[in-house]
Copies of this chain bind each other. A is one copy, B any other.
Amino acid sequence: MDSRGHSNGGELEAKQMDIRRLSSSRSNTQCIHKVGVPPKQNFFKEFKTRLKETFFADDPLRTFKDQSKSRKLVLGIQAIFPIFEWGRNYNLTKFRGDIVAGLTIASLCIPQDIGYAKLANLTPQYGLYSSFVPPLVYALMGSSRDIAIGPVAVVSLLLGTLLQKEIDYHTHPEEYLRLAFTATFFAGITQATLGILRLGFLIDFLSHAAIVGFMGGAAITIALQQLKGFLGIQKFTKKTDIISVMRSVFEAAHHGWNWQTIVIGVSFLSFLLFAKYIGKKNKNLFWVPAIAPLISVILSTFFVYITHADQKGVAIVKHIEKGINPLSVKQIYFTGDNLLKGFRTGTVAGMIALTEAIAIGRTFPTMKDYQLDGNKEMVALGTMNVIGSMTSCYVATGSFSRSAVNYMSGCQTAVSNIVMSCVVFLTLEFMTPLFKYTPNAILAVIIISAVINLIDIQAAILLWKIDKFDFVACLGAFFGVIFASVEIGLLIAVSISFAKILLQVTRPRVSVLGKIPRTTVYRNTQQYPEATRVSGILIVRVDSAIYFSNSNYIRERILRCLADEEEQTKKAYSPKTQFLIVEMSPVTDIDTSGIHALEELYKNLRKRDIQLVLANPGPVVIDKLHASDVANLIGEDHIFLTVAEAVSSCSPKLVEEA
């Protein structure tokens, strides 16, 4: 209904159209520099530009331009399989770096994999499977040189919690496993689709602050879950919130804790933390914390084997299936109710897995100075998980901790992932029986020492210092994960992030400007207290695009600035405000609601005998001002290039009238 009030404007417009043309062609003596009107763009051209900027901001086809057809084919294959690009320059020196790095991350990943599989409520071999096939696929299709592919703690926990809500893994292990493959399949599809549709930027909506809080909360939740293995508790809650877990722990205190397990746990945790400390102190000894987990596994397994501690209540791994990944295509649910469940779980797990991989993709290339195409990476990760889901793997992604070790061990290319994959292959084929006597406590300890890194207190402090709102988002995600569940934490984090965007769009700043002495520069009087107001003229700056969501607020806010100003002038017996200059530099866009707000502001001011003056409207704004004929309503001679010119044009008129 709002529209009726404005349709008159439309009629008016048609009449004034001719006048406008006249007025804009006549030479303007007052205005020294005219506000530029950009050349009228074709609608489809404009639309195309906009579309390109949204989805192809990185101009991925840049290299294809002006190339022959056969060259384009080669470039296309190289774009999908970067290994054909960097493979041609591969040499022995690089291989030496890769083999050391590959062996190091393999020693780190094998014990982690076994533990992480438990977080996802799967038997240990699935963790190892997921470190065999996905790294190979990634090596073919990915372009990051430093990423280490495999299962990670947070995704394993998330997948475990989400799947457990659908199917109980105790009573229906078969269906649970099938659902896990289904979820992995759809996680891959989600990732690849985001990449292909060039929607990678959606990942950005999970803000840094939210991720810090979420990861910290997930780390604590994961560590708490390890208390089961660490304390040797038999009956343990399936919930992940801190209250349920602590209750579970204390209820088991009287009879459920196993002191032998605790002794093993405490001693090896001390060992791992000490190794970590050494690695931190001396960057050259980075390999100490990297191989410490494997050493712990070997030592503790040997210890349990010779002392027969397993007969005294120390829980052990018992059995890991021998042999490489069996096919699992037929186990994926492609129909029925479970399809939907798997899809839902997979989408969430896939998105979270992406955030971790993308963070890695942003950190390491900067250090080595190469560029990554986020959308292409997503396609690689997605394909990897789709193939993984068909070969008994669950969701794999880039692990931040292992990638850091990979980087520090001197990896050169994705070949380090292939090396790691080969080691995992050998382990699966020949060494699984050796893990029989590995105590569960050692896996718990390895996970605890791994996830501690995810708690980033420094980052949280920085958030508090820089942006309080970000800090609140971080805390919300953190406590949401700890006290409710992983999904709730995620939901809180996303909601707060969105609320922040909406708040920005709904309540932009409107500031009063003053002249900085001895310049022609006009700046915010709050930031520059020395800036002086020009009497009789109020200058305000609108700090946002004017859209339907804020147009009314901006109009009212400007009028409130005026009311404040008039109150002050009344007290000081200064001359009445006669001009209101709106500095439009930050107004990058305006929509129909914004145009109406401006029109209403103009009418409102005219009733009070105040002239509205615009300074420096941008290309889009000036175009729309003309299209809607508001430029004509305000008057072409009241639109200036700069505030200084507007003031110098208004001031003489002021004297006349005063």
Contacts and interface: CB of A to CB of B under 8 A. Distances in A.
A456 B4 CA distance: 7
B204 A591 contact: no
Contacts of A622: 527
A609 interface: no
Contact of A521 (B33, B462, B523): B33
Contacts of A500: 547, 591
A359 interface: yes
B505 A2 contact: no
A380 interface: no
Contacts of A2: 208, 211-212, 355, 359, 362-363
A575 interface: no
Nearest to A207: B548
B469 A591 contact: yes
B527 A628 contact: no
B6 A462 contact: yes
Given A456-B3, A516-B641, A603-B366, A468 B43 contact: yes
A28 to B, nearest CB: 16
* Residue from A363, A508, A590, A593 whose CB has the most chain B CB atoms within 10 Å: A593
Contacts of A369: 604, 607
Nearest to A53: B507
A487 interface: no
A568 interface: no
A606 to B, nearest CB: 11
Interface string A576-601: 00000000011011111101100010
Give the size range of A's interface with the partner: 35 or more
A215 interface: yes
A523 to B, nearest CB: 7
A1 interface: yes
Interface stretch (A54-62, A99-107, A251-259, A437-445): A54-62
Contacts of A456: 3-4, 7
Nearest to A585: B585
Interface in A361-403: 362-363, 366, 369, 400
B504 A505 contact: yes
Contacts of A33: 516, 519, 521
Contacts of A556: 57-58
Contacts of A77: none
A204 B603 contact: no
Given A400-B4, A504-B589, A552-B362, A595 B36 contact: no
Contacts of A207: 547-549, 591, 593
A456 B465 CA distance: 51
Contacts of A505: 501, 504-505
A292 interface: no
9 contacts: A2-B212, A2-B363, A3-B215, A37-B527, A201-B552, A467-B591, A504-B589, A521-B641, A585-B586
Given A57-B556, A204-B506, 19 more contacts: A3-B458, A4-B404, A7-B458, A7-B459, A7-B462, A10-B461, A36-B523, A36-B524, A38-B527, A54-B503, A204-B551, A206-B548, A207-B591, A208-B596, A366-B603, A465-B628, A469-B591, A470-B592, A500-B547
**Minimum-distance CB pairs A-B, first 3:** A207-B548, A586-B586, A3-B459
